[in-house]
Structure 1
């Protein structure tokens, strides 16, 4: 996401001929978009994206369980890792 934001900002600055970016090559300005594509390809190929999504869902599930137990007055057991 950060690469896309940087790419859009650099693209806008290049288009509006703002500051030093106006003198930069188009290759440098468009490089963050290529890096974002590489990042997404790596994240999908290694399972990083799915793993992070599953961790987030598991945490939400555990938070719901803890909240329900707390409302019932049951003490939650903390697992040590």
Structure 2
């Protein structure tokens, strides 16, 4: 996501001819978009995206269970 935002900022700076970015070749300003595409390709191929989504779901599930136990007046178990 950060690479995408960087790419948008660089393209705007290049288009509006602001600062030293105005003198850069266009392909330098488009590099962050290519890097973002490579990152997303790797993240999907390696399973990183699904793993992070599963971790997020599991975290929400645990929080919901803890809230329900607390509302019932049950104290969480102490580790043995």
Q: TM-score range by the shorter chain?
A: over 0.9
C-alpha distance in 2 between matches for 1:78 and 1:4: 45
Q: Which residue of 1 aligns with 2:38?
A: 38
TM-score by length of 2: 0.95
Please, which runs of 5 or more residues in structure 1 have no aligned partner? none
Pairwise mapping of residues 18-29 of structure 1 onto structure 2 (< 5 A)? Answer: 18-29=18-29
Structure 1 segments, 4+ long, off by >6 Å, are: none
CA RMSD of aligned residues (A): 1.5
Q: Which residue of 2 aligns with 1:60?
A: 60
C-alpha distance in 1 between matches for 2:20 and 2:11: 12
Q: Which residue of 2 aligns with 1:47?
A: 47
Please, which runs of 5 or more residues in structure 2 have no aligned partner? none
